[in-house]
Amino acid sequence: MTCFSRITGTGSYLPPRRLTNADLVAELAAGGVETSDEWIVERTGIRARHFAAADVSSSDLGVEAAKKALEAAGLEPSDIDLIIVATSTPDMVFPSVACILQNKLGIAGCAAFDVQAVCSGFVYALTVADALIKTGSATKALVIGAEVFSRILDFSDRTTCVLFGDGAGAVVLEASDTPGILASDLHADGKHVGILCVPGHVSGGKVLGDPLLKMDGPAVFKLAVGVLESAARATLAKANLTDADIDWLIPHQANIRIMQSTAKKLKMPLEKLIVTVDQHGNTSAASIPLALDVSVRSGKIKKGDTLMLEGVGGGFTWGAVLLNY
């Protein structure tokens, strides 16, 4: 019997501290950086974001999202035999956030590791989990995106510090005899490393280089729209489906203009575009599972809907996953 994988539960978690654009503008002004709500909304569509407290890590956010996904799937932590966490903001250099989170869930023994593909991370992680389930290496997986991007922001750079937020999203992916994940398509092009990066590292007990996020916004925008369309179309072709078969497009929540441009290229009405960037900002690897969970719990996404998930991020990485929910 051919084995497939299906999402059986979703969960998400946002840290309590919510900053509207007005809140952030006031904080930045105190540091001598000028911007405005109008400037942020016009360029990004973002109106608010959440920042984690200083003592809260990616694993803390991830474990809360994981618990909700497990509850939605009707499972206990002990049922899980694979944990994959997508993150660019780990708790420490090593061990992985997945191992730390595994311990916080009170379980041991199952495989646990992180995937680092920045904002494409959840798409990468979901594809890996699907492959491991299809080969019989796992039957019930937790796939999590968790980020504390507020830790790596340069609050003297208004072009980047207004974009990002913290949060986590999770899904339970289980073996099934009916197709859930239909197809995926992953890519990377390392020659674009410099347009979105954090060019610092730890050596000899010191941080060498710059440990804060750097981005060439126009270059990222130009690349993102093209590769998101191509990945979506490649994924549809693998599944022998067309644009018209997509019920909901759930892109990485980076910038409303990128998201809307991608939807238009796929000939999708904007009513079928899932948007949470206005309230969450860009939460990197957490953005897709966050948007998925919010839409499932609100009743917008229903069982049987066909979803296109797609992400693009530093690396330069990009990819898409097509699934029946």
| Residue where a domain stops, chosen among 176, 210, 226 | 176
Any idea what the CATH number is for the domain that residue 17 is in?
3.40.47.10
- How many domains does the chain divide into? 2
Note the pLDDT of residue 1: 54
Q: For position 40, what pLDDT does the model report?
A: 97
Place of tokens 């006031």: 26
Amino acid at the residue 47:
R
Q: Are strands 82-86 and 140-148 parallel, antiparallel or unpaired?
A: parallel
Rounded mean pLDDT, 96-101: 98
Choice among 110, 119, 161, 197 that is catalytic: 119
Dist. CA 280–CA 274, nearest whole Å: 13
Give the span between the Cα atoms of 272 and 263, in whole angstroms.
8
Q: What is the mean pLDDT of residues 184-204?
A: 97
Q: How far apart are CA 294 and CA 11, in angstroms?
A: 8
Is 289 in contact with 309 (CB distance < 8 Å)? no
Residues 229 and 108 in one domain: no
Q: What three-state secondary structure class fits 116?
A: coil
Same structural domain for residues 172 and 187? no
The Cα 106–Cα 34 span in angstroms is 46
pLDDT in tens, 224-279: 999 999 999 999 999 999 999 999 999 999 999 999 999 999 999 999 999 999 99
In the sheet with 82-86, reading across from the earlier edge strand, the strands are 4-13, 166-176, 140-148, 82-86, 111-115
In DSSP terms, which residues pair with 282 in a beta bridge? 164
Whole-number pLDDT of residue 2: 65
Question: Same domain, yes or no, for 18 and 140?
Answer: yes
**Is 252 known to be catalytic?**
yes
Query: What contacts 92, CB < 8 A, 6 or more positions away?
Result: none
Specify whether 233 is located in the same domain as 257. Answer: yes
Q: Is 201 among the residues known to form the active site?
A: no
The fraction of the chain above a pLDDT of 70, given in percent, is 99
Last residue of a domain, one of 142, 176, 210: 176
pLDDT at 189 exceeding the cut of 60? yes
Same domain, 314 and 169: no
Query: Active-site residue among 50, 252, 255, 280?
Result: 252
- Binning pLDDT at 50, 70 and 90, where does residue 46 land? very high
pTM of structure: 0.98
Phi, psi of 270 (to 5 degrees): -65, -20
pLDDT category of residue 143 using cuts at 50, 70 and 90: very high
User: Which tokens go with 315?
Assistant: 């690396």
Mean pLDDT over residues 47-66, rounded?
98
- Show the tokens assigned to 96: 């992985």
Q: Look over the chain and give the mean of its residue pLDDT values, rounded to a whole number.
A: 97
Is the confidence at residue 82, as pLDDT, over 90? Answer: yes
Name the catalytic one among 21, 255, 282, 324: 282
Residue-wise pLDDT tens digits, 204-213: 999 999 999 9
Single out the residue of 273, 311, 289, 300 nearest to residue 68, CA to CA.
289
CA-CA-CA-CA torsion for 325, 321, 3, 169, nearest 10 degrees? -60
CB burial of residue 218 (10 Å; 0-12, 13-18, 19+):
exposed
Beta strands in 4-133 (DSSP E): 4-13, 18-20, 48-50, 82-86, 111-115
161 is in which domain, residue-wise? 4-176
